[in-house]
Amino acid sequence: MRIRIINPTITTTWEQDARHAYETAASPGTEISIRSLEFGTATVESRRDVALVAPGVVAAAREAEADGADAIIVDCMLEPGLQAAREVVTVPVVGPAGAAMHLAATLGHAFSVLAIADNRRPLYAEIARRHGLGPRLCSVRTLGIPVMALDDDADATLAAAVVQATAAHREDGADVIIPGCTGLAGRAGSIAAGLREHGLELTVVDPPSAAVRTAETLVALGLSHSPRTYPRRAAKAVHEPGGAGAPA
């Protein structure tokens, strides 16, 4: 099985880490490839960024299908272009937020998302509502650490995640934790272990892992998004008035 990861940014330096994270979580035999966007922004942190990179995601999805990918993952909790991409390919397109939230909803009665910064709150609330799981999201908690510092001091990041996850349980009623920021990707186990050291057993769901396993499940079962909810669309030219354009 071949799964194409779309990094919805132009920051190709992230590719190696991301591929490693997905390969670690994937089943044996699943072949992971990753593509960054040709046109886009360096990071995706806002609705503006979501808008700016979505056309690139649509094009990358079409390219992935042409390359023979069996499934596609848009590697970002804000899932830019995901629904649009589903209209242009027949293979399943999966996002880490939806995959993690649906899995979390089956494992406990409420979940919290750990985010980088306060301005993510309305975004995560929108995403939970979009997936029909708004009432299950009981809080969004922020680490209070600059994004750039996440990698510099992995221990401090982990410690902050444990503190916020504990508060999410104690104060907000969360029984499942979803680490929502990239700097915590692949570290669900460490967070759960950190919580256990403090006497708290919580289920921690890693979004990239949830996404790759959900994608595998869909491929294995011959399933994809409904062509009635996502009517198929052919390539469409994007061009300037009076000029020519490339199909996307």
Residues 138-167 touching its own copies, rule: CB under 8 A, are: none
Give the bridge partners for 179, in sequence order: 114
Cβ-contact 1, 70 below 8 angstroms: yes
Burial of 224 (0-12, 13-18, 19+ CB in 10 A): middle
Q: Which range, of 68-76, 147-155, 158-166, 219-227, touches its own copies by CB under 8 A?
A: 219-227
Question: Smallest distance from the beta carbon of 153 to its own copies, in angstroms?
Answer: 25
Q: Which is nearer to its own copies, 78 or 145 (CB)?
A: 78
* Closer CB to its own copies, 118 or 153, in the complex: 118
From residue 202, alpha-carbon distances to 55, 192, 221 in Å are 38, 6, 30
Q: Quote the CA–CA distance of 247 and 236 in Å, as a whole number.
A: 5
- Minimum CB separation from its own copies for residue 173, in Å? 7
Torsional sign, CA 233, 133, 214, 161: positive
Contact between 115 and its own copies (CB under 8 A)? no
Please report whether residue 40 would count as binding its own copies according to CB under 8 A: yes
**Footprint of its own copies on residues 2-31 (CB under 8 A)?**
10-12, 25, 27
Q: Residue 91: CB partners within 8 Å, gap ≥ 6?
A: 64, 65, 69, 70, 71, 72, 219, 224
Among residues 127, 55, 48, the alpha carbon closest in space to that of 87 is found at 55
Question: Smaller CB distance to its own copies: residue 132 or 152?
Answer: 132
Q: How far is the CB of 107 from its own copies (least distance, A)?
A: 5
- Cα distances (angstroms) measured from residue 169 to each of 125, 128, 144: 18, 18, 18
Least distance in angstroms from the C-beta of 67 to its own copies: 18
Residue 245 touches its own copies, criterion: CB under 8 A:
yes
* H/E element, 36: strand 31-36
Q: Which stretch binds its own copies (CB under 8 A): 69-77, 132-140, 147-155, 158-166?
A: 132-140
Candidates 33, 108, 159, 167; binder of its own copies (CB under 8 A) is 108
Cα-based torsion angle of the residue sequence 157, 12, 224, 100 in order, rounded to the nearest 10 degrees:
0
Minimum separation from the CB atom of position 20 to its own copies (A): 16
Please report how close the Cβ of residue 122 comes to its own copies at its closest, in angstroms: 5
- Binding-site residue total for its own copies (CB under 8 A)? 92
Does position 66 interact with its own copies (CB under 8 A)? The reply is: no
The one segment of 48-56, 67-75, 143-151, 160-168 that binds its own copies by CB under 8 A: 48-56
